[in-house]
Amino acid sequence: MNLLRFWKPRDIRSLYKVFLQDYISKISTEKKHLREKYWLNSEALLSHFNKENIPDNKIEEWKNFKTGFLKKTNWKIPELKNKKVQVDKKIKVTENSLFFVHGRYNSKISKAGNTKGLNVFSTYEYFKLNPSYKEKVYSNPEKYMEDRLSGIGDKKTTALIALNSLLNHGTVIEIEKEAKISNPINIINLSIDETSQLLISPYIIIICKQNSEAIFTEKTYTKNCWINGLSEIYLEKNAKLTYSKFQASIDNSIQTSSLNCSLKNKSNLDLKIFNRENCKEDIRVFLNDEKASAKISGIITSKERKESDVYCKVVHNGKQTFSDQSWRLLSSDSSKTSVNGKIRVNRLAKFSAASFSSKSLILSDKASSFSKPELEILEDDVKCKHGASFGEIDKNLLFYMQSRGIKKQDAIFTLVNAFLSEIGFKKFDIEEIVLKSIKEFFNIGNANE
């Protein structure tokens, strides 16, 4: 374990606890702060964010997620301290636990010292040691902009990536070459704020070197915050990664996040997502080289009058690349769940296969769910399929269960559980995170009609 001293960016340190708007205008006028951002093009980021600002539903990718509240609120940038903080007893802390407090890696409470092959760096340190990576891992929003079929690159979708990178320089988690880490590595995001409305900008870069294997579970606990996250995942040749990203608690918070994954030859990504109400996840997976493969499965839930939205784009660039997306959506009350699954198979990605499927379960008359698979196939020799289904709780099943003595609420819960279990998450994750949140549904929701 190589745990280098955490680097605190000076520009923000001198400004912490300020309002976002003040910060943006300050760095816009005082170029000095920009110069201190030595490794990414801050000026470009800033002008990009100033130009595009927070996206709204005029942008295709943001149609199903309202952002008015984000614009209206005067967010504060959090204080930056790598100090010991109290961790809620309810949160399980295991051997491989990496804590991010208000979006920053906290070495004081993290426990990862004994795991061979796992290293945590500040980006500054990492790029000093691995200059070649600086070019690859580079928080440049243009890299992630949306390629429209018309051939136009749309930068509007990446304004929040720019904002994230302006506020956080990122942490690199590296899995060494040939390392096989079988115990799950837990990333725990703690952003609990009791008083002010904070804008949290976690930025995590995960680099899995050649022939490495690792399992990550990322859980976010938040209160009263806007979390605008960015994760970049790089799988080198033959690397294998299972990554679960679960929204554990969302107490009065909003999350918008980007997850960008680049895969090299024969590397394999197994991505599991639990996206709750008030969360918007923007996933982009690039299968860049031959035989790279990605399996993406996710549960998207929402309640009350809230929205839960996932955009997931898989781009096949290499030959014989494979991708599979599978989603389960659950809406109660007057809420909305949505998934937009885009598959783009670029020219020369011959013999590739891609699939998308989603099933939506709607628990009340006022709830809604949207599923939009989109295929852009620019190569002939490929196999693609997609399907989406929508349904309510089957009244006959419900009656059968009730007539055997099971209470209606319990019967609904059991059926929902069975529906979500189809996705094949680990039983523990389903029970600890997903079902816990769904139990809340049934206390608050109007599932009893």
Partner 1 sequence: MLKITNLSVSVDKKKIINNLSLEVPTGKKVAIMGPNGSGKSTLSNVIAGKGGYEINEGEILYNNNDILKLEPEERAASGIYLAFQYPVEIPGIANSSFLRTAINSIRKYNGKKELDTRAFLEECKEICEKLNIDKSFLSRDLNFGFSGGEKKKNEIFHMLMIKPTLCILDEIDSGLDIDALKVISEGITHYSNKDNSMLIITHYQRLLDYVKPDQVHIFNEGKIIESGNYELVKILEAKGYKEFV
Residues in contact with partner 1 by the rule CB under 8 A: 394-397, 399-408, 410, 414-415, 417-419, 421-422
For the bound state, the minimum distance from the C-beta of residue 420 to partner 1, rounded and expressed in Å, comes to 9
For the bound state, the minimum distance from the C-beta of residue 400 to partner 1, rounded and expressed in Å, comes to 5
For the bound state, the minimum distance from the C-beta of residue 259 to partner 1, rounded and expressed in Å, comes to 28
**Residue 389: beta bridge partners?**
359
* Closer residue to partner 1 in complex, CB, 15/415: 415
For the bound state, the minimum distance from the C-beta of residue 292 to partner 1, rounded and expressed in Å, comes to 32
> Contact 246/271 with Cβ under 8 angstroms?
no
For the bound state, the minimum distance from the C-beta of residue 408 to partner 1, rounded and expressed in Å, comes to 7
* Closer residue to partner 1 in complex, CB, 145/401: 401
Residue-level length of the chain? 449
DSSP string, 148-187: -TTS-EE-GGGHHHHHHHHH---EEEEEPTT-B--SPEEE
Q: How many whole angstroms separate alpha carbon 280 and alpha carbon 69?
A: 14
For the bound state, the minimum distance from the C-beta of residue 405 to partner 1, rounded and expressed in Å, comes to 4
304 torsion bin: left (phi>0), alpha (psi -120 to 50), beta (else): left
Measured between alpha carbons, how far is residue 39 from residues 42, 113, 171 in Å? 8, 27, 13
For the bound state, the minimum distance from the C-beta of residue 360 to partner 1, rounded and expressed in Å, comes to 17
276 torsion bin: left (phi>0), alpha (psi -120 to 50), beta (else): beta
Q: What are 408's two structure tokens?
A: 């209606």
In which element (H, E) is residue 441 found?
Answer: helix 436-444
> Contact 368/338 with Cβ under 8 angstroms?
no
* Closer residue to partner 1 in complex, CB, 123/301: 301
Query: What does residue 245 show for φ and ψ, rounded to 5 degrees?
Result: -120, 105
* Closer residue to partner 1 in complex, CB, 150/403: 403
Other CB atoms within 10 A of residue 49 CB: 22
* Closer residue to partner 1 in complex, CB, 381/410: 410
* Closer residue to partner 1 in complex, CB, 345/411: 411
**Residue 371: beta bridge partners?**
339
Owner of token pair 């961790």: 87
For the bound state, the minimum distance from the C-beta of residue 422 to partner 1, rounded and expressed in Å, comes to 7
* Closer residue to partner 1 in complex, CB, 97/360: 360
* Closer residue to partner 1 in complex, CB, 279/423: 423
Four-point Cα dihedral 384, 390, 395, 400, nearest 10: 30
Q: How many whole angstroms separate alpha carbon 337 and alpha carbon 448?
A: 20
